[in-house]
Each structure stands twice: as C-alpha cells, then as structure tokens.
Structure 1
Amino acid sequence: MKSLLPLLLAALLSACSGTHSTIKEGYAYQLSEDQAAVLVDSVIRSNIANDRMLPGSTLVASGYDRSITDTQTYTATAIAVPRFSAFGFEIQHKGTMFNGPSKAKRLYRTLNERAALSGSRVMLIAPSSAKHP
C-alpha cells in the first residue's frame, strides 16, 4: 500500500497540468504586438485576484489560485508568427487544484473569443489536417 501512494500522488499532480495552444491546433490571429499583449494580460487579470499575479513580460501574463494547501498556476502567452503577421496563444496550467483543468479550458476559450473579436484568424497548416476547437 505504501508503494502505491507515490504513484497515486504523481498521477494526481500530472492530471492537473496541461497546455492549450492555437499554434498546436494550427491557427493564429492577425493582431499587433500591443493587441496580443493586452489580450494575454486582460484574460489572466479578469480571472485571477490582483495580489496573486506573478511577474510576467510584454507577451506573458501569469497568476495563481490557492485553496488551503492546493495551488494552481495559469500562464497565458502570445507567440509571434511573423510569416503571417499574427500571434498564436497558449494557456498553460499546473498545480494540484481539482478545478484547474476546467478553469484553464475556460481561459483558453475566452482568449480565443477575444482574439477573434480583435483580428482575423489565419490557418497555419492545411485545413484538412488542422484541428478545430
């Protein structure tokens, strides 16, 4: 029984991390760098308490949620795609909170919705091989 505890703990921790990426799904949005920076910052800030924001950079915003001993960190990144004058977006999350994956998915959906309102979506790969959200 004692040997199963580390395996269970590892499975639990790995189940609460992941990445959602428009680049991996084969698309980006034609936006300026300023628009992309505002998007990643505003999506994180609208879902994370101000005192739980972490230092970031122009195209990266990060913050965390905490509940007793559980913590979940969320990072939004804008990734330049110069060939298309566009930016792809990524949400990464890691931690031990049970609702972390569902909140990350919600952040990703919001990021996509706001990006679509700000710029045109461009396909990075042939449509027949691209995944659609």
Structure 2
Amino acid sequence: MTQLGQSGADALLELFGRTKVVIGVVHLAPLPGSPRFDGEAVEAIYQQGLDDARSYLDGGCDGVIVENHGDIPFAKPDDIGPETAAYMAVVSDRIRRELGKPVGINVLANAAIPALAIASAAGAGFIRVNQWANAYV
C-alpha cells in the first residue's frame, strides 16, 4: 500500500503510473450482516462486483474502489461487523487478481480501521475515508 507522507501526485504516480486518473466506484449489494441483506447468494454479490469492476476498466478507468454501498443504513464504525470486512476482502481480492488494476477500499460510513484491514488482506493499494467527523442520531 502507498505510504503515508507522500504527496498526492507521488502516490498516484506510484500506484497508477501517472498523476491524473479516473477511478470507478464498485457499489456492492447489501452484504450479510447488514440490515438490507435479503439472503442473496454471496457468489452472486461477488460476481456483480467483479462484473461492475470489469465494466469500469473496459470503459477506460484506471482502477476501482470497492464500497459497501448497499449496507444502508450504515453502521457506526465501531459497530461494523467482521463479516463486512471478510466479504469485502474476498471480493476486492478477486477483482485485483482477475483484473490486475489498482483497487481501493471505502467502508461506509467513515470506517478507517476496517478499510485498512480489508486493504491489507486483499492487497488493495489505497483506502478512502470520506468523513473525518460525523454526527450520529
């Protein structure tokens, strides 16, 4: 994974080979353990993620970022279960191995620690933490 302290341009150059990139966002269907999971076969969720990633890359994207977008309403970071990390790591690893392009991780909403764990397990090159502060009701 790209090291902290690098400038944004240096990190992009190291990961993608250039400094201006387009990253497609793979929105996973609801995962087991999330409120909207309806029992869909996990292999179907993996395949949908892989198909979406392939479409982005075939369309010219330089890489993808995988998100648990279907897990609405999003849990607080400390309440995200280990199953989310496990399933996201598997699909992200499959995307990286099969398609050979940079993969990133964003665990919604705002779950930096699970994102780092998933990225490490899946060999992903970067994470996104899109909210530094958040209010929960």
Q: Same fold (TM over 0.5)?
A: no
Normalising by structure 2, we get a TM-score of 0.29
Normalising by structure 1, we get a TM-score of 0.29
- Structure number with the higher strand fraction is 1
